[in-house]
Amino acid sequence: MARIKPKHQRLVLIAIALAVLIAAGLLAAWGLRNQASYFYVPSDIVAKPPESDRAVRLGGMVEKGSMKTEADGITIGFVVGDGKARVPVRFRGIVPSLFVEGSGVVAEGKLAENGTFIADNLLAKHDENYVPRELQDMSEHQKQQVVAETAEAASQ
Amino acid sequence: MIAEFGLAALWLAAALAALQLFSGVLALARPGEGLGTVVRPVAVVQGALALVAFAALIVLFTRTDLSVKLVAMSSHSAKPFIYKLAGTWGNHEGSMLLWVTVMGLAGSFVALFEKRLPEKTMLATLAGQAFVSLGFYAFLLISSNPFERLPIPAAQGKGLNPLLQDVGLAFHPPTLYIGYVGLSVAFSFAIGALVTREVGPAFARAMRPWVLGAWIFLTVGIAAGSYWAYYELGWGGWWFWDPVENASLMPWLAATALLHSASVLAARNALRAWTVMLGVVAFSMSMVGTFLVRSGILTSVHAFAVDPERGTFILALLAINIGGALALFGVRAATVSEGKRFALVSREGALVFNNVMLTAVLGIVLFGTLYPLVAETMGAQVSVGPPYFNPMTALFVVPMLLVLMIGPLLRWKQDNLSRIGMRLAVPLLAIAGAAGAVIASGGVGLLPWLGILLAAGLAVASVMPLRERNLKRTPLAVWGMVAAHFGVAVSLFGMASESAFSVEKLVAVRAGDSAEVGPWKVNLKAVLPVAGPNWTALEADMSAQYEDAAPLEVRPQSRSFWSPPQQTTESALVTRWNGQLYVVIGEEADDGRWQLRLWWKPFVTLIWYGAILIAFGGLLALIGRVASDIRRLVARDKIAYRRERQGR
C-alpha cells in the first residue's frame, strides 16, 4: 500500500467504503424483509395466519365480556375482533391504563400453534390525542365506536 | 404586548438573516467593496433577536397568557412553574422557535469567536448559516407562528401531556436541540470550505471545537432521553429503537464519524472530501430527524396527508438544503485535491475503518426508520424493532469496537501490528478473563456475551495510550479520548449486563405479602391514595430489602392527571452501586390483590454513567483544544506586537 499514488489510494478508499455501504444496504434490505413485524386484523389472521415464530402486530376491538384474569392475577385472556373474525389473545403483564373491553388495542406478539395470540406488549389509546398508528386506519364507524366506548368506560 | 413584541423580534431576525445572506454572497462576488464587514455584526444581532423572541415566548408561558393560542393549547394555570417554563418548548411551535434560536445563536458565536478561518471562507460559512436559518424562519412565520393570538382569550389552557411533566424531560429538549442544531455549524463550515475550496488541516482545526461542542450536548441529550424513557414509561427498557430516538441517534453517529475524520484531516491532511461530506451529512440527519418528529408522518402517512402543510414545508427545506449541499459537493469534491497517503495499518487506516462502520450503522438505522413509511405508502403496515436493529447494527459495531482497541495505539502514516503486539496481550487477557466469567455464569445470549467480552477488552485497551507517556505532559485531548473510549466500554458493559442478567418478576400480591426478585425481597404494606398539584394517584407503600441490608422504602404510583385527563405509571427505583431495583404497580384484581412488576437490573446505571463519561471526554478534548488555540493566538499577537515596535 505504501507505494501507490495518492489518486489510487483515493480510489481504493472509495471502493472499500462503497463496498461496505452497499453490503450494509443489502443486509438492511434482507433484515427488513425478515424482521419487520406486519400488522394484522383478526380476519387477516384467520384467512392467512403468520408463521408461528414470526413477530407480528394484531389490532382490533377487545370484545365486551371476553376479558378474564387467570388465577395468578397477572395473566389475562381476551378476544380481539374486527366484526368478521375473532382471535383469542393471552397477555402476561400490566395492561396499559386505558385498556378496557370494547376499546381498540394493538397487541405485539406471536400466533401460537393452537391459534391463540401470545402478546408480549399491548398498545392502547393513551389519551384522546394519541392513537396507535394502526388504529388510525380503522373505518370512521369503528373509530366513533372506539371513542364513544372509551369515553363511556372512562366516565364509569 | 409581549406576543407582538416577540413576533416583531422574530420578523426582524428573519430580515437580518436575509441581509446576512445577501451581503455575504455579494461580498464574495465583489471583494474589496467593504460589504463583508457587515456580515459578522449582522449575524450576532440576528442570533440575539431570535433569543429575544424566544424569551418573549417563555414570559408568555410562565404568565400563562391565555390570549395566546399556543399557550391556551398546551399550558394550564394550575401547572407547577417549572412545567410552565418547560411547556415553552414542549409543543411544535415552541420547539421550532427554540430550533431557530439555537441556529441563530450558533451563527452569532461563530461570528464572535471564530478567528482562524480565512475571511472568505468565513463569509461563505455565515452566508450558508443564514440561508438555512432563513428557511426555518419562513417555516415559523408562515405555518407555525408561536405568537398567534386567539380572537377571544381562553378561560383555561388545555394542559401539557403529563408524560412530559417531569424534571428530567424539562431540560432534555433544549440539550438535544443545542446538539442537533449546533451541527448546523459543521454544515455551514462545509459549505464555506466548498465555496472557497479551502479544505485543509486549518479548516479541520477550526471546525473541530464546534462539532465537539454540539456532539457533547447531543451525547448528554440522548443519554437523558434514554433514562427518561426508562423510568417514566414504566416498561423497564432503556432504548426502544423508536423513530424519535433514532432521529437523535442518526446525527450522533454522523457527528461521531465527523469528529474522527476531522482529526485525520487536522493531523495528516487526508480524508479531505470525506470530512466535508460528513459535515453535510451530520446536519442533514438533524434535519431529517426534525422532519420525522415534526411533520406528524410518524403517526401515519395518512395523518401526514390530511394536514400536509407543515410536513411539506419541512420536506421542501430538506430537499433544498440537502440537495443544494450535495450538488455543491458533487461539483467541487473533484477539485478538492487528494490528501496525503497512508498505509492500511496506520492510525488513519483505523480511523477510516471507524468512519466506514459508523456510516454503515447510520445507513442501517436510517433504512429501518424509514422502511415503515415507505411500506405504508405501498399499502402494507409494518413496524421495525429490536429484532432488526440489534443484530444488524451489531454486525458493524462489533468489528468497529475490535479495531477501537488497536487504533489509538497505532502510529500515523504507517505502522505494523507486530510493534504493538505485546501491548495487545493485556486487553486479550481481560477478554479471556471475562469469557471465563461469562461461561461460568452460563445461559447468556450471543449479543450480551459479545458485549461483555468487548467491554472488558476495551476498558483495558482504552487506557493503553497513556502508557509510556509522561502523564503530566499528556495533552488534555488525549485524556479526553481515553475517557470517551473508556466510557464506551462502561456503557457497553451496562447494556450487556442489563440484557444478560436482568431478573423480572410479575406477581399479584395482597397487602402484607412479599415477593422476591433476584437478591431483593419486596414487601407490599398498603396501597393508599395521594394527591399532587395537578394529579391524584394510588401509591403503593412498600419496603425492599437487598439480601441482609436494612429495608428501604419504595413508593411506585399509578397517577391520574386531570388536564389533560391521562394516566401514567410512576415507577420507583432503588439504586445500588451494582444495579437498580425497578418497581411498577399495576391494577387491583377483583380479589384485592395488586399487580406488581419487579425488575432487578444489575449494573444498568453504567449505561448512562458511560454516556456521561463519553461526554466528559468530549469536554476535556474541547477544553484542551480551545486552550491551546488561545495560547497560539496570544503568542501570535505578541509576536506581531513586537515586530510592530521593532519596525518603528
Answer with the one of B136, B165, B194 that is the final residue of a domain. B165
pTM of the full predicted structure? 0.91
CB contact under 8 A, B338 and A72: no
CATH (domain of A134): 2.40.50.140
**Of B161, B352, B392, which is closest to A28 when you measure between CB atoms?**
B392
- Same domain? For A20 and A94 the reply is no
Mean pLDDT of the region B4-13: 95
Do the chains contact at B587 and A95, CB–CB below 8 Å?
Answer: yes
Number of domains in chain A: 2
Highest mean pLDDT among B104-113, B236-245, B308-317, B636-645: B104-113
Q: If contacts are CB pairs under 8 Å, which of residues 235-264 in chain B contact chain A?
A: 235
With b meaning 16 or more CB within 10 Å and e meaning fewer, what string describes B55-69?
Answer: bbbbebbbebbbebb
CA distance B343 to A119: 53
Distances in Å between the alpha carbon of B38 and those of B17, B102, B466, B544?
12, 21, 47, 65
* Cβ contact, residue pair B356, A16, below 8 Å: yes
First-to-final CA distance of chain B? 59
Residue with the bigger pLDDT between B304 and B237: it is: B237
Residue appearing with cell numbers 428501604: B552
Task: With residue B361 as reference, give the H or E element that holds it.
Answer: helix B347-377
Report the residue of B341, B342, B393 to disrupt the A interface, i.e. the one with the largest count of A CBs within 10 Å: B341
- Asked whether the beta carbons of residue A38 and residue B381 sit closer than 8 angstroms, the reply is yes
Task: Give me the phi and psi of B528, to 5 degrees please.
Answer: -125, 150
For residue A24, which residues of chain B lie inside 8 Å, CB to CB? 360-361, 363-364, 396
CB pair distance less than 8 Å for B564 and A129: yes
B142/B197 same-domain check: no
In which band, very low, low, confident or very high, does the pLDDT at B452 lie, cut at 50, 70 and 90?
very high
pLDDT above 90 (res B276): yes
Q: Least CB-CB distance to A35: which of B361, B387, B595?
A: B387
Place of cell 389509546: A125
Whether residues B359 and B441 share a domain: the answer is no
Q: Could you tell me if residue B411 is inside a domain?
A: no
In B270-414, DSSP assigns E strands to 382-383
**Is there a single domain that holds both residue A15 and residue A51?**
no
Structural element, H or E, at residue B514: strand B514-517
Q: Give me the pLDDT at residue B530, please.
A: 92
Q: Which residue of B has its CA nearest to A137?
A: B302
The pLDDT of residue B425: 83
* One domain for residues A4 and A53: no
Q: Which three cell numbers stand for residue B281?
A: 451529512
User: So what's the pLDDT on residue B81?
Assistant: 86
Interchain contact B571–A (C-beta under 8 A): no
Q: Residue A132 — pLDDT band, cuts 50, 70, 90?
A: low
Whether residues B75 and B219 fall in one domain: no
Chain A residues inside the 8 Å CB shell of B341: 2, 4-6, 9
Domain coverage including residue B558: 503-602
Bridge partner list, B554: B542
ipTM of the complex: 0.79
pLDDT confidence of residue A155: 42
| pLDDT value of position A127 | 44
Contacting B residues, span 380-419, partner chain A, CB-CB under 8 Å: 380-385, 387-388, 391-392, 395-396, 414
H/E element, B640? helix B606-647
Question: Measured between CA atoms, how close is A28 to chain B, in angstroms?
Answer: 6
Q: Which among B371, B381, B597 is the nearest to A134, CB-wise?
A: B381
Mutating which of B356, B395, B505 best tests the A interface, going by the most A Cβ atoms within 10 A? Answer: B356
> What pLDDT was estimated at residue A23?
93
Most confidently modeled range among A92-101, B150-159, B397-406: B397-406
For B563, the closest chain A residue by CA position comes to A127
Look at residues B332, B326, B348, B340 and name the one whose alpha carbon lies nearest to residue B200.
B340
Task: Give the C-alpha separation, B496 to B364, whole Å.
Answer: 21
User: Which member of A9, A55, A69 has the closest CB to residue B341?
Assistant: A9
Taking CA–CA distances from B386, the nearest residue in chain A reads: A35
Q: Is the peptide bond before B564 cis (omega within 30 degrees of 0)?
A: yes
B602 in Cβ contact with B500 (< 8 Å): no
Q: Is B590 part of the contact surface with chain A (CB cutoff 8 Å)?
A: yes
Cell 470525506 belongs to B274
Bond into B151 cis (ω within 30): no
Are B149 and B293 in the same domain? no
The residues, ordered by sequence, that sit 6+ positions from B183 with a Cβ below 8 Å of its Cβ are B211, B214, B218, B251, B255, B282, B283, B286
Question: Does the pLDDT of residue A130 top 60, yes or no?
Answer: no
**A25–B300 C-beta distance less than 8 A:** no
B379: left (phi over 0), alpha (psi -120 to 50) or beta: left
Q: Are residues A28 and A94 in the same domain?
A: no
The reply to whether A67 and A30 lie within a common domain is: no
Amino acid at A109: G
* Closest chain A CA to residue B357: A20
Tens digits of per-residue pLDDT, A75-96? 999 999 887 889 999 999 888 7
**Domain's final residue, options B109, B142, B165:** B165
The residue that leads in pLDDT, B565 or B616, is: B616
Q: What are phi and psi of B502, to 5 degrees?
A: -60, 140
Paired with A75 in beta bridges are A92
Q: If contacts are CB pairs under 8 Å, which of residues 268-287 in chain B contact chain A?
A: 274
Same domain, B10 and B140: yes
pLDDT at A138: 54
A36 and B352 in contact by Cβ < 8 A? no
With CA atoms as reference, report the closest residue to B211 among B357, B110, B75: B110
At residue B198 the predicted structure's pLDDT band, cuts being 50, 70 and 90, is: confident
Nearest-Cα distance to chain A for B180, in Å, is 24
Cβ contacts of B371 on chain A, cutoff 8 Å: 32, 36
pLDDT, residue A2, reads: 47
Cβ atoms of residues B558 and B597 within 8 Å = no
Q: How much is the average pLDDT of B476-485?
A: 95
Would you tell me which residues 184-243 of chain B have a C-beta closer than 8 angstroms to some C-beta of chain A? Answer: 234-235
Q: Please report whether residue B498 resides in a domain.
A: no
What residue in B sits closest to A106 (Cα-Cα)? Answer: B383
| A68 and A138 part of one domain | yes
C-alpha B483/C-alpha B490 separation (Å) is: 10
Which chain B residue lies closest to A155 (C-alpha atoms)?
A: B565
Residue B410 lies in a domain: no
Chain B residues 526-565 with a CB less than 8 Å from chain A = 558, 564-565
Q: How big is the A-B interface in CB pairs under 8 Å?
A: 141
**Residue B497 within any structural domain of the chain:** no
Distance CA A129, CA A136 (A): 11
CA dihedral over B324, B199, B192, B318, signed as positive or negative: positive
Same structural domain, A94 and A132: yes
C-alpha cell at B500: 444478560
B76-80, B296-300, B396-400, B536-540: least confident range: B296-300
Asked whether residue B214 falls in the same domain as residue B354, the answer is yes
Q: For residue A128, name the pLDDT band (cuts at 50, 70, 90).
A: very low
**How is residue A53 written as a grid cell?**
415464530
Inter-chain CB proximity B388 and A31 less than 8 Å: yes
Q: What digits encode the pLDDT tens for the residues B35-90?
A: 788 899 999 999 999 999 999 999 999 988 888 988 888 888 878 888 888 888 88
B582 and B480 share a domain? no
* Residue-wise DSSP of B180-214: HHHTHHHHHHHHHHHHHT--SHHHHHHHHHHHHHH
Q: Report how many domains make up chain B.
A: 4
Interchain proximity A74–B508, CB inside 8 Å? yes
Mean per-residue pLDDT of chain A: 78
Q: Are residues A87 and A115 both part of a single domain?
A: yes
Cα atoms in the Cβ-side hemisphere of radius 13 Å centred on B365: 28
Q: Are residues A14 and A43 in the same domain?
A: no
- Which of A127, A129, A134, A143 best tests the B interface by mutation, with the highest count of B CBs <10 A? A127
Of the candidates B364, B506, B568, the beta carbon closest to that of A93 is on B506
User: What distance in Å separates the CA atoms of residue B584 and residue B556, rounded to the nearest whole number?
Assistant: 6
CA distances from B354 to B70, B350, B351, B408, B435 (A): 45, 6, 5, 11, 25
pLDDT for the residue A153: 45
- What does pLDDT average to over chain B? 89
Which residue in B has a C-alpha nearest to residue A94's C-alpha? B586
Contact B384/A57 with Cβ under 8 angstroms? Answer: no
Distance in Å, alpha carbon of A31 to nearest chain B alpha carbon: 6
Task: Provide mean pLDDT across the span B214-238.
Answer: 90
Q: What pLDDT does B336 receive? A: 73
Q: Name chain B contacts of A27, Cβ cutoff 8 Å.
A: 364, 392, 395
Residues B65 and B120 in one domain: yes
Which residue matches cell numbers 413576533?
Answer: B7
Q: What's chain B's Rg over C-alpha atoms?
A: 27
Q: Chain B residue with minimal CA distance to A27?
A: B392
Q: First CA to last CA across chain A, in angstroms?
A: 76
Q: What percent of chain B has a predicted confidence (pLDDT) above 90?
A: 54
Written as one letter, the residue type at A46 is V
The verdict on A103 and A43 lying in the same domain is yes
Q: Which residues of A touch B506 (CB under 8 A)?
A: 74, 92-94
As given in the structure block, the three cell numbers for residue B553 are 422504602
Q: Which residues of A touch B300 (CB under 8 A)?
A: 133, 136-137
Question: What stretch of H or E contains A69?
Answer: strand A68-69
- For residue B85, the tally of other CB atoms under 10 A from its CB is 16
Residues B462, B521, single domain; the answer is no
Q: What angle do CA B196, B198, B203 make, to 5 degrees?
A: 125
φ and ψ at residue B605, rounded to 5 degrees: -65, -20
Distance from C-alpha of B381 to C-alpha of B375, rounded to nearest angstrom: 6
Residue B408 forms part of a structural domain: no
Q: Contact B356/A29, CB-based, under 8 Å?
A: no
All residues of chain A having their beta carbon less than 8 Å from the beta carbon of residue B598 are none
**Residue B32 is assigned to a structural domain of this protein:** yes
Query: B546-551, long-range: CB within 8 Å, 24+ apart, which pairs?
Result: B546/B519, B546/B520, B546/B574, B546/B576, B546/B581, B547/B519, B551/B523
Which among A16, A21, A154 is the nearest to B363, CB-wise? A21
Please tell me whether residues B248 and B340 are part of one structural domain.
Answer: yes
| Nearest chain B residue (CA) to A55 | B387
Q: Has residue B307 got a pLDDT over 70? A: no
Which residues lie closer than 8 Å to A38 by C-beta, 6 or more apart?
A50, A56, A57, B380, B381, B382
Confidence of residue B235 (pLDDT cuts 50, 70, 90): confident
A-proximal residues of B, 286-315, CB under 8 Å: 298-300, 302-303
Between residues B391 and B170, the one the model is more confident about: B391
The x, y and z cell numbers of residue B250, run together, are: 442518526
Calculate how close chain B gets to A114, using CA atoms only, in Å.
24
pLDDT at residue A144, rounded to an integer: 52
Q: Please state, as a whole number, how many other Cβ atoms lie within 10 Å of the Cβ of residue B169.
A: 20
Model pLDDT, residue B126: 95
Give the model confidence (pLDDT) of B425-444 as tens digits. 888 888 888 888 888 877 67
Q: Are residues B183 and B264 in the same domain?
A: yes
**Set of chain A residues whose Cβ sits within 8 Å of the Cβ of B517:** none
* Mean predicted confidence (pLDDT) in B319-330: 92
For residue B441, the model assigns a pLDDT of 77
CB distance A126–B360 less than 8 Å? no
Beta-strand pair A104-111/A117-123: antiparallel
Same domain, A73 and A101: yes
Question: If we measure between CA atoms, which residue out of B419, B389, B564 comes closest to residue A27?
Answer: B389
The residue among B232, B382, B403 with the most chain A CBs within 10 A of its CB, best to mutate, is B382
Asked if A44 and A8 sit in the same domain, the reply is no
The domain in which residue A11 lies consists of: 1-36
Same-domain status, B245 and B309: yes
Question: Which of residues B165, B192, B223 is at a domain's end?
Answer: B165
- Asked if the Cβ–Cβ distance from A94 to B396 is below 8 Å, we say no
Quick one: pLDDT at residue A150? 45
Residue B90 within a domain: yes
pLDDT bin (cut points 50, 70, 90) of residue B306 is low
Residue written as grid cell 451496562: B494
